[in-house]
Structures are given as structure tokens and as C-alpha cells.
Amino acid sequence: MPDPADTDPAAPRFSGSGSSRSFGRYLLLGTIARGGMGEIHLALAGSIAHAQKLCVVKTIRAEFTGEDNLVARFLDEGRVLCALQHPNIGQVMEVAIEQGVPFLAMEYVGGTDLAELIDAGRGSRRYPPLDVVLSCLAAVLDGMAYAHRAQGLDGTPFHLVHRDLSPENMRASWDGDVKVLDFGTALAAGRSAQTVHGAIFGKPGYMSPEQARREPLDPRTDLYAIGVVAWELLTLRDWMTLDIVDHLRALADGTHRPAPPSTLRPDVPPSLDRWVACMTAYDPSQRFADATTARRALLDLAQAEGLRIDREVISEGLRAMLPGAQEAESERNRRWIAEARSQRGTTADPPRLRQQVNTEPLAPRDPRVLPGTPYRLGAQIGAGGMGEVYAAEHMDLGRPVALKVLSPALSSDPSLVQRFRLEARAIAALSHPNLVHVYDLGTTDDGRLFFAMERLRGESLRARLERAKSSEQGRLPVAECVRIGTAVARALAAAHAVGVVHRDIKPENIFLTEDGVVKVLDFGVAKTSNAEILGGTDANVTRAGELFGSPAYMAPEQARGREVDARTDLYSLGAVLFECATGSQLFQDASMVELLARHMAQEPDSPRRRAPSANIPPGLDAIILRCLAKDPSDRFDSAALLADALGRPLDAAPPRADGVPDTVTMSATALLRPPPPPARSRSPWPLVAVVSLASVVTLAAAVGLTRRGNPPPPPVAAPIAAPPAPAPVVAPPAPAPVVAPPAPAPAPVVAPPAPVVAPPAPSPAVVAAPAPAAVVDAGAAPSRRSAHSALSLAQQSFAAGRYQETIAHANDAVAQGGRGALDARVLIGKARNAMGQRAEAVRALRMVLERDPGHRGARQALSAMGESVAP
């Protein structure tokens, strides 16, 4: 259905109203978009209120609830989205009717839609960098490729066509994830809403010729719309320049022929012109056969042009194009939550009964139904000391889930109940594509705790390793090791950022889906110091004598029963990567006691020495050994830095954090190229929903859809003189490219030319010089700037209150080594304290004093926090 939030494009961002109210089990914090038919609200879900997990509630206005077809179409959107589980499609948590009002509860995606990116380019007279545009398009195509081939639980194809793709319903998060939203007008088998005779669905500016002619549609209709979005992102102009009737007539008769992007923007290569032309061909048979083919062609041309395609590119590009927007959004959310707390003294009201949508009457005493829940249990797919995991189905939504249920015998043990709750709260505080999503948390009628997670198809890394070990090669290919290691490091970085330490990274807790996505599972023994996650409970649920983790992958400090931190997980990941690269465990053929002793005292073999025939690159060898350092201070300082190291050329050893190269004897090897994109075909080893017993989950979050009008074409951009620029704003080196090799030196940022009727000739006079280093965003590789420059950027970010940015720049300075590394660590501590992460802040500052007891900055920062500066 058309998005209910038809907002004024001139309205300032994040300016919605913030009056909170209860809505069933949701607390609506404020309205973020409002239109003629409905509203979109920022909300907290009551069932996970202790984790302060944001979501979005989308409603129809009361006066339209009697419009049966409109309501059916609205609810159909929820049902369609519930059946689609993909990182590039917005996830629905619930579809129901509350107080007579139909609503969808969706994941909240902090960020911006692509329409705002276009508007930002017009306002700044600066084109979005090509790699940002292509990375966004590749993500959208990946999501739509999945949607087009989606099937029901019985294997019946949905034959889904979105019909309304536009920049407004393509949402990019600040972390670089792109999600397709608003399937309200989607054409799919089994929908209850009927198309009104003569009605046209979709926005005219993005309709295909066959839509204008009212002919049958297929997935190539969506490819046309994506092609139009690509043209607008590249040119910052409107595809539709006539009034609606004339535009549809021109579409129908084939006379609408916009100029190739390269005639309007001089840095667009001819290959991209051809790709856009194929996407927007008048005849559907002349377009790409499907979204997968279109995406593959896009990746190939990006590789040929030396353009990076990954989520980091998007993240960096958004922050450069929309400076301050992420901070403004976070501030609004914090303000609304604080206002709601002051008004109500709680984050959510108790769950209430509501009218569920399309619920089939259940047979009485159905033994498959978990008592007091909407879940019908299927086969048991996991079991352990704390409970069971079942394949299950949400009966109202038809959503397949993996349901983890605490054993009845353990439900009376307060410490185990607390650990179970902390597991769910910890992951509910996270949102990352390499973590499992949680949909629900609750208690059965007989008092057992449970939570519902996404059901995965694929295999564990353990199963993959066993297959590899039984093969002729005996180990995983190097590219696969790097891909898995990078994904796990990114997931851990997300967990560590909110104070969660996994404590049990091992192959059994790493899952490889059929679509090639790596997922970290099982936070059942995770540790957190985050007060928001703890919700007033005791942070230490470890009893005397208990040792958490798996001996084969346990860090020395874990084995000794000492304090653990984020670097503990890096040791375990190093042990996993050692096994992946060599085909053998780090320490073999030993009892548990002997294993722990070896982790504490025995230096590890070099992976290259353990498996000389594996051709392990020297850089990968050094990275693994650095992760396996006995002293945590000798490991990478963060999982983000580890992911960054894995994304660089691995034919030489990377420098240590203190600037001293690792001393590992290495011979030259070929440059490790990034791995190819994961195959989209079904795995020959299907494993349904294997989420391990203690696996945990990430509650995703949704975003309101704001619409823009058709702004005028960009004004004429005057020639811009080149300022001295230590680092351009576009295309920093990839922390971990997935689909294309690292980009060469980036192309300059290009200013859009003046609007013209006929295609103008490219003019070098309108090419803008690279942006100055001060606007380079977090995450840029240290090799692109000096330690002094990185420290300076960190100081500027801290002064501006951009604390995540501060940490990223400071980590770059730490990686360069020298005296500035300690000053950078002080900034990290001060930034974490400002973000409310006190324990992490104190740890960072004390680390500085361990290395320099007289460091003035660290002592002052600790004193300001009321902490002792004594050793």
C-alpha cells in the first residue's frame, strides 16, 4: 500500500512529536512520520523493555479502518514481510489489530532513505560517490533477488513483485546495511486484498512501461524501478519531468528516453551507462533476466572500474553526505525515551489481550502448542543442559522460528533464569547482519522462559570443517577463512560496542547460511557490564568454581579464571581461524586440564609452519598469531581493528599496535584477493534452523518511511578550487571487501552540472576537488593518514560530541603506535565514558597508566570520573 507517511519534504529531519502513549504491549514514544492515511511511530516493545529495544509501529488512521480493502492491503504487507527473512528486507515483528487499529510492528533501522541521500546531494551540489551508489544498489538487488524467489512453508512460490520500489522505501543504516521496505502494494500469490479495477499501484515516477500499459507484471518490473533509482542517484535529477498523465503516456508508447548518466555526470563510466540502459529497457525481454543476474553484472563492472562494493563504503558515504544526522537521530531517540520515563516511570505497560489477525481456531488441547504462546512446536533441533531448541511456527504470522525453551527443572533456579534472561537482553541490545535475530521473549503458562529466533538454513562451521578435513585439501581455502573471520570480527565488534563479551567463540557457535551469511550464535555464557542490559540485575552470575567457555578455544585469562574483556573473544577467534587455515586445532590430543595449561603457557605454532602446503599468506599468519598472544595487550585492541586487518592485503605482516612489526619468518606470497560473493543456490547440505541450544539473537529494528516530493534539479555548481586534501572523502580502503578488490585511488567528488533540456557535454570545470581531511569519517584505514592526523581527527570528533567517530579515529592513531597511541587511548576512554560505558572507559584509562603511570591525561580523566589513580 502507499506509505501512510506522506510527509512534507521541507520538514527538518528528526522533528517529529514526542508524546508517549501505550498501545497494547508497545509504548509509542513519538510520531516520526504522518500522512493522509496513517502514521509511523517510534516505539519500545514491551516484551523486551528491559533491553530498551526500539522498533517502529505503523498504523492506519482510525477513520480509514472501515475501508476493508485498504485494511486488507495493509495487513497483507505484514504477512508478506513476515515470510521474507533476509538482511536486505525490513523485518516485521508483529501484525495485529489493537484497540480496533490495524498495525505493523517493524524493525527500526537508524539511518536514512535513499531519497534523503539524493536531496543531500542536491543541497550540497555534490554527487554521492560511485562506490556508495553501487553498494546501495547491490544490496537492494540482493534483497529483491531473494524476494522474487521466495516460497511458502509448503514450497509454493510467492511469485512476488514489489511494484512500488523507489528511493523512499530503500533504507540505508548508519552501519551500511540497506533494506527494502513497504511491500504494501506487492503482487503475491495468496494475498487477501483485491486490486481495485482500474487502480494503479506504485509511484508514477518509478513505474515501468508495462505498468503504464496495465499489462501483466513480473520481477523485471522491479528491475526497471531499481534502474530508475540508479539513474536518479547518479545524476541527482528526476526521471519523471512531465506531469503524471504525460509521463505515463510517454512510458507506454516508449518515447520516454532520459539521457545516459555519463552525459550528465562526467565520472560515470560507459559500462555503467550500459547497465542502467539494460535495467530500464522499454521491452522487459531486453532487461536482465533477474535480480541475481543484474547484481552480478553490477559487481563485475564495479570490479573492472576499481570500485569497492561493501557496507563500510555505504556507512562512510552516509556520514560524509549527511554530517551530524546520525547524532541528531540518536539525540532525538534519547530525548523521547527520557521523556517517556519521566511521564510513566516505566518503559512499557504489561501485555494486554488484543485481536489477532487471521488467526485460525486451534483444536483444544493441541499438544504441539507451547502453552500460553502463539507457537506451534515442530521437531527438536537442539538440546543441552539448560533446555531445548525447537523448529516452530508462529501460528498467527506463519513465521518459521527456532524456539529456545528453558527446561522446567531449571526454571526454579534463580541464577539460571537470570542467565537466560541476560542472554536475550544482551542480544536484543545488538543489531547486526552477522548476529541472529530475536523475535519474541516471554513466559509460558507453566512458568518456563522462552525466546523465538530466526530459523536458519545451512550448516555450522564445525560441520564445514569436518567436510573440509575429510577432503583432499584438508582445510578451508584461505579466502573462505578470511571471509568467515571478518564476518565474526564484525559481529563481535557490534557486541563489544555495547559491553557484551561472548566468552565462547568456537566453530559450533558460528553458522554458515545457505545464502553465504556468517552468523555468530550462542550468547548463553556471555558477560556484560552494560547497565541497560542488566536492568538492575547482578552482572556476575558466575558461581564460584564455574568456568565458562570451551577449553580448545579458551583464552589464557579465561583458563586462569581472571577478568575477561573484548580481547578474550579475539583469542578464541584466533584459535578458530588457526583451525580453519591449518585443518587442525591449536593444541591437540590433550585432556581438558592439559589444554588449559597449554593455553596459559605454551606458545602456539605458526599456522604456516603447521600447514606448510596451505600457502597461508604471511599477513594472515601474523594476524592469527597476534590474536593468540598470551598477554591481552599484545592482541588487537578491538574486533573492528581485527576486521580491518583481515580486509587488507595479506602478503606482508601487519604492524603491531605499538608500531613494532611482528617478527615472523615469512616468504612472499601472492596478494590475497577478496573472496567471491557467496553462492545463492541451495546448499547440498541443508540443515534446517540449526541455532545452537544457547544461541541468542538480535532483535532488528524498523524505520519510518518518509516521502519526498520532486525537488527541482540541482542548481548550477560553480567551479570549485582544490583545497589541500590529505585524504579525499570518497572510497577509503575497504576494511573487509566481500565482492570486489580494494579500490585504487578514489575518483574526485564531482559536482552536478546545471539542469538542461538536452544532455550537456561533460565539463571539467565542474569537477570538485577532494574534500579536506577534516571531513573524512570514522573507519578510514590508518595507512591513509598519519598518526598525528588520526589523533587530530579524534580530538575534533570528541569536541563535536561525535563519540563513535572519536573511537574510530583514535583506534587508527593507536594502530600507528608511538606516544600518540597513549593519548588516543585516553580519548577512547573519555568517549566511552561520555557514551555511558563507564567500565570500558575505566579499563581504557587504566591501560594507559599501566604503560605510563604518570600520564597526565589519563590521571585527569580518571579523577574527573571519581576513580582512584593509584595503581
> What SS3 state is found at 287?
coil
Of residues 221, 147, 217, 183, the one with CA closest to residue 1: 183
Contact by Cβ (8 Å): 130, 267: yes
| Residue bearing cell 583458563 | 559
Specify whether the backbone of 287 is left (phi greater than 0), alpha (psi in -120 to 50) or beta.
beta
Contact by Cβ (8 Å): 118, 233: yes
> Taking every pair of C-alpha atoms in the chain, what is the biggest distance, in angstroms?
80
Contact by Cβ (8 Å): 738, 677: yes
Q: Which helix (H) or strand (E) holds 520?
A: strand 518-520
Contact by Cβ (8 Å): 576, 584: no
C-alpha cell at 667: 616468504
- Cα–Cα dist 244/247, whole Å: 5
Of residues 799, 798, 818, the one with CA closest to residue 808: 798
Q: Bridge partners of 103? A: 59, 96
* Marked catalytic residue, from 504, 515, 522, 621: 504
Measure CA 777 to chain center: 18
Contact by Cβ (8 Å): 378, 391: yes
Of residues 438, 548, 437, the one with CA closest to residue 501: 548
Q: Alpha-carbon torsion 534, 539, 545, 547, what sign?
A: positive
> What SS3 state is found at 283?
coil
| Residue 36 CB-half CA count within 13 A | 5
DSSP labels, 601-638: HPPPPPHHHH-GGG---HHHHHHHHHHT-SSGGGS-S-
E-strand spans in 82-169?
Answer: 92-98, 101-107, 111-113
- Catalytic site includes residue 504: yes
- Cα–Cα dist 363/366, whole Å: 6
Contact by Cβ (8 Å): 234, 272: yes
| Residue 281 CB-half CA count within 13 A | 13
Q: What is the dihedral of CA 181, 183, 185, 190, to 10 degrees?
A: 180
| Residue 272 CB-half CA count within 13 A | 28
Q: Which helix (H) or strand (E) holds 338?
A: helix 325-344
Contact by Cβ (8 Å): 182, 3: yes
Specify whether the backbone of 542 is left (phi greater than 0), alpha (psi in -120 to 50) or beta.
beta
Residues catalogued as catalytic: 504
